[in-house]
Structure 1
Amino acid sequence: DGLFLSNGPGDPIICKETVENIKKVFSSKDVKPIFGICLGHQLLASAIGCKTYKMKYGNRGHNLPCLHHSTKRCFMTSQNHGFAVNVHSMNP
């Protein structure tokens, strides 16, 4: 069992109720792995105190190569997002 937070449209800041629900999962005694894709990742980051922001241009409809450093294997990723997590808002 685990929790999968999928992608979706919109600004992660307006998903306050969902972020609160994710926080409840964190505080649960029933530990489960959590995985977030795009908006799901941004909501997961928000639940641990990170800030998100609207990108100036966003990434729309282009593919980017992504290198797995351990295996040196390259994967193509499809990009379509307009918000990101501010890495400087992360607690060490």
Structure 2
Amino acid sequence: LGNGPGDPIVCKKTVDNIKEVLKSSQLKPIFGICLGHQLLATAIGCKTFKMKYGNRGHNLPCIHNGTKRCFMTSQNHGYCVNTETLNS
């Protein structure tokens, strides 16, 4: 699921569609980037919140565990998933 911008809570139709996909008996892995990650979290019942200060424009290295190859990631988000709303 792709990037934003936006507040995941206002994307109700998208969240409803994700819920339907998650119910499928032929479920495949789903990868969410930024807003996509927040939409996935919202679809499983998590809450999101607007950060006091967004994380804007940071480029950070990320090492792939399988290949040890380093990729540069661009950090740019204003919302977070409240980890206290995760189900175990």
Specify the code of the residue in structure 2 equivalent to 1:28: S
Specify the code of the residue in structure 1 equivalent to 2:44: I
Segments of structure 2 that go 5 or more residues without pairing to the other structure are: none
Indicate which of 9, 33, 41 corresponds to 1:37.
33
Q: CA RMSD in A?
A: 1.8
Moved over 2 A (4+): 64-77
Deviations 1:32-64 (A, max 9, x none): 111110000000000111110000010111223
Comparing 73-82 and 9-18, the one that deviates more: 73-82
TM-score, normalised relative to structure 2: 0.85
Does structure 1 residue 23 correspond to structure 2 residue 19?
Answer: yes
Offset of residue 30 of structure 1: 1.9
Partner secondary structure for residue 42 of structure 2: helix
Counterpart position of 2:73: 77
Structure (1 or 2) with the greater strand fraction: 1
Offset of residue 65 of structure 1: 4.0
Query: What is the total number of aligned residue pairs between the two structures?
Result: 88
TM-score, normalised relative to structure 1: 0.82
